[in-house]
């Protein structure tokens, strides 16, 4: 026994030396602010915001960096990482953060700014992740950032800010001072990158007699050399963008379309023989500001006529461009209220307030006109567990059908959690819509390990992952049954590939790490994956 221990110790020692000797990790930022200078950190806000080294508040050593005089959420310290972004490079980031005024817990956001080889192109901003700190306590924060595959990018900066709010909505709590210390950013040795698990069954093949299985991705993930792409190519046969097909990205200014991010996904999908969806054409969220503004006087709302024109042009520009290439469209997304009826301006939906309910009919008609063969979907969340909302969707779709509005399918987003809704509720929902003669497709499935926003951050333990696997398995068994009955369309889309990329890590609670998908952050299969491909491999699955 003893000898075995010794042998292991020696082995670890030797491997340790080997890893150390070969490690090509590079420390890019190592700021403890002990030498009294800003060490390359600068204020993002050009005028008001200030940075200084202070000694009264610090994490390690004798000083820290104080960020003060902030007047915008995005005011915070920024530091350059590189002039020459290299796709798939991973930067690991760790730091300590502190604040003493404001709410008991405060959210901070770690973000990336990128410049482009074409220096005249506006810089891009990306919120990587958010995290929670406690008032009056130093909180450690760690994350990783993987450089995307955009061939036009040039430099990268990192910065810390508060969750974004438009300038006119900024509250005193958004302007608080904060302190940072012991910031370390390391560019990882490529050998330390996670590797997509290899010798496992192919997920889509397992279900191919019933439906294709898709994934939501970002343009940055569909780089042939990336490990995410290995997972995509092996397991998925449908692609959709998690964000890159939304109007704020596609039409940032009126009449000026930026196809590049969506098209990286479309190209990748076509090159790898995947089917494609577009999400969404019409939504109340992630729109450019100009959309609802009067052109001559942006302080005024756009007129009904002009907005109708903008809507029609947008739908038809996209659908004509991708005719015969994109099969399925979320024509309208989340048109129902969380309380009653259609979603109005009070829940963020300016479409309804300006155009009235007929914008839904028009959107579908204009879509059909632009591409007669595409599948036209009305996409919604929370229909399964909410009888009121489900019934309202039924009434809405029935009305559309009665008026001969061309709707082909109801999309159930299926952002569900580990307990609810029940399989029975999902069954009733699918069968209800099938009774109207429309198909049901699953458009954004994920399964949170949390059941309420008030639940504290927790580890995804083996027991939780087993429970999750059981539920994925049970729900897919239902989907198979509904497919046999002819009620289901032929696509089930999962909202992401590996847990580290999931939006649920920041929604509904910023920085609360979740584990809703089929692969873990190291790109290894989770019990949920096995629940779908070979349940016998997971002990305890029924």
Known active-site residue 358 = no
The nearer residue to ligand XIL, 421 or 527, going by C-beta atoms, is: 421
The nearer residue to ligand XIL, 53 or 326, going by C-beta atoms, is: 326
**C-beta of residue 450 within 8 angstroms of C-beta of residue 512:** yes
The nearer residue to ligand XIL, 31 or 505, going by C-beta atoms, is: 505
Closest CA to 265 of 248, 286, 244: 244
The nearer residue to ligand XIL, 106 or 242, going by C-beta atoms, is: 242
* DSSP conformation letters of 55-80: SSS-SSTT-EEEEE---STT-SEEEE
Phi, psi of 446 (to 5 degrees): -155, 165
Rounded to an integer, what distance in angstroms lies between the CA atom of residue 378 and that of residue 391? Answer: 14
Write down the least CB distance from residue 517 to ligand XIL, Å. 12
Write down the least CB distance from residue 8 to ligand XIL, Å. 43
Write down the least CB distance from residue 503 to ligand XIL, Å. 3
Specify which residues 82 forms β-bridges with: 156
**Residue whose pair of structure tokens reads 């994956």 in the numeric block:** 529
Q: Which 3-state string (H, E, C) describes 40-52?
A: CCEECCCCCCEEE
Write down the least CB distance from residue 413 to ligand XIL, Å. 6
The nearer residue to ligand XIL, 185 or 332, going by C-beta atoms, is: 332
Write down the least CB distance from residue 18 to ligand XIL, Å. 39
Write down the least CB distance from residue 279 to ligand XIL, Å. 6
314 burial via Cβ count (<10 Å: 0-12, 13-18, 19+): buried
Rounded to an integer, what distance in angstroms lies between the CA atom of residue 249 and that of residue 259? Answer: 8
Q: How many CB atoms lie within 10 A of CB 29?
A: 19
Closest CA to 444 of 354, 391, 516, 508: 516
The nearer residue to ligand XIL, 71 or 285, going by C-beta atoms, is: 285
Q: Which residue is nearest to ligand XIL (CB)?
A: 503
Establish how many alpha carbons lie within 13 A of residue 490's alpha carbon, considering only the half-sphere containing its beta carbon: 11
Known active-site residue 444 = yes
- The binding site for ligand XIL (CB under 6 A) comprises 242-243, 333, 413, 444, 503
Find the helix packing angle between 358-370 and 304-321, rounded to 10°: 30
Please state the length of the chain. 542
Rounded to an integer, what distance in angstroms lies between the CA atom of residue 339 and that of residue 336? Answer: 9
Sheet with 105-116: list strands edge to edge.
42-43, 77-82, 153-161, 105-116, 124-134
- Quick one: DSSP state of residue 220? G
Among 221, 384, 444, 482, the one annotated catalytic: 444
Among 334, 384, 392, 482, the one annotated catalytic: 334
The nearer residue to ligand XIL, 216 or 229, going by C-beta atoms, is: 216
Token duo for residue 236: 């998925």
Rounded to an integer, what distance in angstroms lies between the CA atom of residue 222 and that of residue 233? Answer: 10
Rounded to an integer, what distance in angstroms lies between the CA atom of residue 259 and that of residue 242? Answer: 15
**Residue whose pair of structure tokens reads 């300038």 in the numeric block:** 167
Rounded to an integer, what distance in angstroms lies between the CA atom of residue 191 and that of residue 415? Answer: 35
Write down the least CB distance from residue 49 to ligand XIL, Å. 25
Write down the least CB distance from residue 144 to ligand XIL, Å. 17
The nearer residue to ligand XIL, 213 or 215, going by C-beta atoms, is: 215
Catalytic residue numbers read 334, 444
């Amino acid at each position: 026994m003893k000898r075995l221990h010794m042998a292991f110790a020696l082995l670890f020692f030797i491997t340790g030396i080997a890893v150390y000797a070969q490690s090509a990790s590079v420390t890019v930022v190592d700021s403890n602010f002990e030498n009294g200078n800003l060490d390359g950190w600068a204020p993002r806000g050009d005028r008001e915001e200030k940075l200084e080294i202070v000694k009264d508040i610090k994490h390690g050593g004798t000083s820290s960096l104080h960020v003060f005089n902030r007047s915008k959420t995005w005011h915070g310290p920024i530091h350059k990482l590189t002039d020459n972004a290299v796709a798939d490079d991973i930067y690991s980031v760790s730091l300590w953060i502190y604040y003493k005024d404001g709410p008991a817990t405060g959210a901070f956001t770690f973000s990336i700014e990128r410049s482009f080889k074409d220096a005249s192109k506006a810089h891009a901003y990306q919120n990587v992740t958010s995290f929670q700190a406690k008032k009056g306590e130093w909180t450690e924060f760690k994350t990783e950032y993987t450089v995307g595959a955009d061939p036009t990018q040039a430099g990268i900066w990192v910065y810390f800010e508060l969750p974004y709010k438009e300038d006119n909505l900024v509250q005193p709590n958004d302007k608080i001072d904060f302190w940072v210390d012991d910031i370390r950013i390391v560019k990882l040795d490529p050998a330390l990158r996670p590797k997509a698990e290899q010798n496992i069954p192919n997920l889509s093949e397992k279900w191919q007699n019933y439906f294709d299985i898709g994934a939501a991705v970002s343009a940055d993930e569909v780089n042939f050399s990336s490990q995410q792409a290995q997972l995509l190519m092996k397991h998925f046969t449908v692609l959709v963008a998690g964000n890159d097909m939304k109007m704020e990205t596609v039409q940032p200014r009126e009449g000026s379309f930026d196809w590049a991010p969506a098209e990286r996904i479309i190209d990748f999908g076509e090159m790898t023989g995947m089917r494609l969806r577009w999400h969404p054409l019409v939504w109340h969220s992630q729109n450019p500001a100009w959309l609802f503004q009067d052109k001559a006087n942006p302080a005024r709302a756009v007129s009904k006529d002009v907005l109708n024109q903008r809507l029609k042009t947008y739908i038809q520009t996209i659908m004509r461009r991708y005719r015969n290439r994109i099969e399925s469209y979320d024509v309208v997304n989340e048109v129902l209220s969380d309380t009653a009826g259609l979603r109005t301006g009070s829940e963020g939906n300016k479409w309804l307030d300006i155009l009235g309910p007929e914008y839904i009919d028009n959107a579908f008609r204009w879509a059909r006109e632009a591409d007669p063969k595409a599948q036209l979907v009305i996409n919604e969340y929370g229909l399964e567990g909410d009888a009121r909302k489900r019934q309202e969707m039924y009434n809405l779709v029935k009305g559309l059908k009665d008026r001969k509005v061309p709707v082909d399918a109801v999309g159930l987003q299926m952002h569900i959690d580990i307990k609810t809704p029940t399989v029975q509720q999902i069954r009733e929902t699918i069968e209800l819509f099938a009774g109207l003669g429309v198909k049901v497709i699953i458009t954004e499935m994920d399964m949170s390990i949390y059941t309420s926003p008030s639940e504290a951050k927790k580890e995804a333990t083996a027991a939780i992952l087993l429970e999750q696997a059981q539920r994925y398995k049970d729900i897919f068994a239902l989907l198979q049954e509904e497919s046999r009955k002819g009620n289901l369309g032929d696509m089930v889309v999962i909202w992401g590939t590996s847990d580290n990329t999931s939006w649920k890590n920041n929604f509904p609670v910023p920085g609360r790490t979740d584990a809703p998908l089929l692969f873990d952050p190291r790109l290894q299969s989770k019990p949920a994956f096995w629940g779908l491909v070979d349940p016998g491999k997971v002990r305890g699955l029924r």
